[in-house]
């Protein structure tokens, strides 16, 4: 039996292992980051070291704070400006590819190290980094004397992220960490507070930096995403002067593209994320069609008479009882998907391949078609799963297209864009396996390959009989 369940995306909570699936209804939060458009930039000043007059007083005060901290100066090549996404960094002069745009010393970073050195370091020591930094943000945001007070003033009040927490998870965090240490945390901490802090972290934190898996960098996080940037090589951790008499690590932001004065500086947030993940993390979706994706979850049924053997083979080859495969629009099927499908569908006369004698070679055999019956089964079940998933949507692709042509609330625009992309991917999957069904009679299967290896089958598939001498 082939067990297939379809997911829009999988979501791992920050405190506990994943416990459910992410559902794409209209998101419940808003953000200053909006869907990318090609509207002209609004820039009133290209020479002044100060932000242009179109930005808010809070942004101007925040930039002055960075000046006072020695982070920016008249030589800094970019300034905050109002852009289609909300706020962004705009070049004050031509910036070459890989040229430094902004450098921020480690003393201004918000990361697990900052938490550990703070008053709440001890009570957060056993938590995951995301949780510890989140609690640190909530505490610092509530303090009038916080070092980052002016930074918090320019952060958005909410995001369009589809992130959510369950009531159980929040209750456990409150009971284990917050309530026993009331003097360290603002009171009360509400559900909206948690939505805000994780929306901020998901949308603004940098990762994959040397020795830093999670870090907020004031000023640098104003930079926006563009699909025109095809490399993620923009952030560097370097040793440099952090003050008049001291040296410290600097977060060095470099432009991945050569840009002209007056143009906005962009980076690539993540090359490999789907639009569903972009909505979850950043609260917007990318304009590229190949960001559209759908996740198929394949599983070995516990009622399968060969469950133990199949599970052993799967685990021996880096898989498990279930496997998630992210399928992107206009891209080939993910590596290993067909092989795993053939394993899940094995049965009948094909089950001999599960014997111990084949255990070390069975995965290699399944990388090619096993039998017509096996291949036909996986085609039929996958196509049925796609049709079932498509029937679950309340609109068609054409109806979604008409909606996208209207003036939509940003949250609804995200939801429509994601579901339309998912439907296109489902149609693509169905078409792939439909074409495969038409090839069933011409595919080469295990028995034919085996006979050829033994010299008992000709190139045209005819069986060769050897007469005894």
Interacting residues of 125 by C-beta distance below 8 A, sequence separation 6+: 116, 132
Please tell me whether 269 is known to bind a ligand.
Answer: yes
Catalytic residue at 269?
yes
Please tell me whether 4 is known to bind a ligand.
Answer: no
Closest CA to 439 of 364, 319, 322, 338: 338
Residue tagged 């795993």 (tokens) = 340
Please tell me whether 445 is known to bind a ligand.
Answer: no
Report, in angstroms and rounded to the nearest whole number, the Rg of the chain calculated over CA atoms.
27
Please tell me whether 87 is known to bind a ligand.
Answer: yes
Residue tagged 């007056």 (tokens) = 262
Please tell me whether 372 is known to bind a ligand.
Answer: no
b/e map of 33-50 (b: 16 or more CB within 10 Å)?
bbbbeeeeeebeeeeeee
Choose, from 151, 249, 269, 294, the residue flagged as catalytic: 269
What's the number of CA atoms in the CB half-sphere (13 Å) around residue 44?
8
Q: Using CA atoms, how far apart are residues 448 and 454, in angstroms rounded to an integer?
A: 10
Please tell me whether 204 is known to bind a ligand.
Answer: yes
Interacting residues of 438 by C-beta distance below 8 A, sequence separation 6+: none
Please tell me whether 282 is known to bind a ligand.
Answer: yes
Residue tagged 């940037």 (tokens) = 229
Q: Using CA atoms, how far apart are residues 377 and 372, in angstroms rounded to an integer?
A: 8
- Tell me 334's DSSP state: P
- Tell me 108's DSSP state: G
Which tokens in the block code for residue 209? 């930096």
Please tell me whether 281 is known to bind a ligand.
Answer: no
CB 175 within 8 A of CB 70: no
Q: Which helix (H) or strand (E) is 80 found in, with range? A: strand 78-83
Q: Using CA atoms, how far apart are residues 366 and 353, in angstroms rounded to an integer?
A: 9
Closest CA to 363 of 322, 406, 405, 316: 316
Q: Using CA atoms, how far apart are residues 446 and 161, in angstroms rounded to an integer?
A: 48
Please tell me whether 85 is known to bind a ligand.
Answer: yes
Write out the E strands in 172-281. 224-225, 235-241, 247-254, 266-267
Q: Using CA atoms, how far apart are residues 363 and 5, in angstroms rounded to an integer?
A: 23
Phi-psi region for residue 443, left (φ > 0), alpha (ψ -120 to 50) or beta?
A: beta
Which residue numbers belong to the known binding site?
85-87, 204, 208, 221, 224-225, 236, 269, 282
Which residue numbers belong to the known binding site for substrate?
204, 208, 221, 236, 269, 282
Which residue numbers belong to the known binding site for S-adenosyl-L-methionine?
85-87, 204, 224-225
Active site residues: 269
């Amino acid at each position: 039996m082939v067990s297939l369940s379809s997911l829009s995306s999988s979501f791992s909570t920050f405190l506990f292992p994943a416990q459910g699936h992410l559902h794409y209804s209209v998101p419940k939060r808003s953000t200053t980051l909006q869907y990318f458009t090609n509207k002209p930039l609004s820039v009133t000043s290209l020479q002044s070291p100060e932000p242009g007059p179109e930005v808010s007083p809070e942004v101007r005060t925040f930039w002055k704070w960075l000046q006072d901290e020695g982070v920016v100066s008249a030589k800094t090549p970019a300034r905050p400006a109002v852009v289609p996404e909300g706020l962004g960094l705009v070049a004050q002069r031509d910036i070459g590819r890989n040229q430094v745009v902004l450098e921020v010393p480690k003393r201004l970073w918000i990361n697990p190290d900052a938490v550990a050195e703070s008053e709440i370091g001890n009570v957060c020591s056993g938590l995951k980094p995301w949780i510890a930094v989140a609690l640190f943000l909530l505490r610092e945001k509530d303090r009038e004397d916080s070092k980052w007070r002016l930074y918090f003033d320019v952060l958005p009040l909410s995001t369009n992220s589809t992130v959510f927490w369950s009531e159980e998870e929040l209750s456990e965090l409150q009971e284990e960490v917050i309530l026993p240490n009331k003097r360290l945390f603002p009171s009360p901490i509400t559900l909206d507070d948690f939505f805000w802090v994780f929306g901020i972290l998901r949308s603004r934190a940098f990762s994959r930096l040397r020795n830093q898996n999670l870090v907020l960098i004031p000023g640098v996080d104003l930079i926006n995403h563009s699909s025109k940037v095809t490399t993620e090589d923009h952030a560097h951790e370097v040793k440099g002067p952090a003050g008049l008499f001291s040296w410290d690590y600097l977060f060095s932001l470099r432009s991945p593209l050569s840009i002209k004065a007056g143009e906005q500086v962009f980076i690539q947030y993540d090359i490999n994320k789907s639009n569903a993940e972009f909505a979850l993390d950043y609260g917007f979706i990318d304009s590229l069609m190949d960001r559209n994706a759908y996740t198929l979850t394949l599983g070995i049924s516990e009622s399968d008479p060969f469950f133990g053997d199949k599970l052993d083979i799967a685990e021996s080859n880096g898989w498990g009882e279930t496997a998630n495969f992210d399928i992107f629009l206009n891209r080939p099927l993910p590596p290993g998907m067909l092989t795993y499908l053939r394993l899940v569908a094995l049965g009948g006369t094909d089950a001999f391949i599960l014997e111990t004698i084949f255990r070390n070679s069975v995965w290699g055999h399944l990388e090619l078609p096993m039998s017509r019956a096996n291949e036909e089964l996986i085609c039929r079940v996958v196509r049925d799963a796609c049709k079932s998933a498509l029937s679950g949507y309340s609109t068609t692709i054409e109806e979604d297209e008409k909606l996208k042509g209207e003036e939509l609330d940003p949250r609804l625009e995200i939801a429509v864009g994601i579901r339309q992309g998912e439907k296109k991917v489902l149609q693509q999957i169905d078409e792939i396996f439909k074409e495969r069904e038409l090839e069933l009679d011409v595919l080469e299967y295990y028995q034919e390959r085996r006979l050829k290896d033994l010299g008992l089958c000709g190139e045209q598939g005819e069986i060769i009989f050897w007469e005894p001498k």
